[in-house]
Structure 1
Amino acid sequence: MRIAFTKMQGLGNDFVVIDTISQPLSLTASQVRRIADRRLGIGCDQVLLVAPPPSPEVDFGYRIFNADGGEVEQCGNGARCFARFVREQGLTGKERLQVQTAGGVIHLHLETDKQVTVDMGVPRFAPDEIPFKADHEADYYLLEFDKQRVEIGAVSMGNPHCVLRVPEIDTAPIAYWGPILERHPRFPQRVNVGFVQVISPGHIRLRVYERGAGETPACGTGACAAMVIGRRRGWLSGQVYVDLPGGRLGIHWAGEGQSVWMTGPAETVFEGTIEL
């Protein structure tokens, strides 16, 4: 079958977005891997499907697949691209959207300056909600691997995140520690691993080794996770700029029990069709 797609990016985190409302389809894991392959397919970090609303309370369904073919719960950079896509394709005239993901309902606001603000939901810290194997909830945990002990924060932003503070982001052992921590046995569904350098209470630098994708130029949920863990630890204020390799996001969190708000860019790169 031949399907139409749009290639989009948010801070260098790139996506293939497919409208499954106008062209109903279901992708297998092998088809997702083919699309995501940068040599044999289109190439992307994740494949995003725009789906009909699963209930009257939301505007759309939103399905997210990593480059390895696995479906995941949430993607913040993808959410911004999703919002731009449905407006540019004429699927909605709204500037405020409610979208159902596997991780819950998210709220998307299209701004006038081509930025998109996303209500990423309330962060969840209870170990069984991340999921993370621990006897009780704590602000930080000691994780053992490869004869080492590191201090981490753990949180779900609709998907699981592990956050480590490092003194210098450019020399952090991301290529070595990332894949080990992603598959650490205390994270039964694997985990996204964020390495954060605190510059000031309102500014951090971040690199993220994403579950099923490896290190990417930017990770929206990872930026939110780093901010809330940092605020919980007393490192950060309620409004933080997060500098990632692909660019800057603004993250706001009022505190416990409140939603995390993320603002950043999204843009269309090109459109095309592919035979699957």
Structure 2
Amino acid sequence: MKIEVKNLTKKYKDNYALNNISFTLDEPKIFGLLGRNGAGKTTFMDILSGQILASSGEIFIDGENPFDNQRLTESICLIKEGHNFKKDLKVKNVLKMYSFFYPNWDQQLAEELTKEYRLNLDARIKTLSKGMESALGITVGLASKAPITIFDEPYIGLDAPSRKRFYEIMLEEYQEEKRTIIFSTHLIDEVSLLFEEVLILREGSLVLQEESEILRDNTISVSGSIAEVETFLSGKEVIQKKQLAGMMTAYVYGSVEEAKMYELNVEGVPIQELMIYLTERKQGA
């Protein structure tokens, strides 16, 4: 499903949660939606899922506005970090309700995931630990098979092995049946290799949209003597520089091949480091 965002703005009194952002997501991919707290990620996901209206601008999914649009809401599943389900419902009731709502619901997968995460089907939501509630959200999100599946920090309370298993299952399901997955997380290093395309928001503005492979190929860390590194950096956009005992390490937009011609040590730059840089500096990319 094609997602078109045109001059999208959401304003709360004098504050802009989103400020005139535009971009297109036009094919099934795993998208990383990144940014600091307050960058506008959750607001965007709420608008995309049809839960709130924008102040101005437009958002279209296959040419239609998702707000108050049942055909589209059946195609979108948003799982937030908490408060996804009514507290008095039992786990089995939640799964049954969502199975009726989503036309592509995969009951077999839902059952496998409840066993994987040892979810008690008769437990009420209010009795679940934070981790178990997150496991239920993950189960619903994956089993929905919604063409647009959105995860907003979905793993709160899960330990590292449980998170790893979630990432593995998500990738397996995606490879078996492609869909648009939008994944917002602060644990970027854990999941960055899953992202096929990255969007970074800063204070309501889009500062970067790029394919992950291109980012990895063109964002590098170089190290060597200060003179050698400074020579290589001439005319390039530098992310950051560090000096110690006559040596320099720099993050820069450039090519591995060119850096090696200067006989510098070259490594890739983690997407998390790039996100920190882009959300700290005053100008966008």
Q: TM-score interval w.r.t. the shorter chain?
A: under 0.3
TM-score by length of 2: 0.27
Q: Which of these two proteins has the greater Rg computed from alpha carbons? A: 2
TM-score by length of 1: 0.27
Query: Higher helix fraction: Structure 1 or Structure 2?
Result: 2
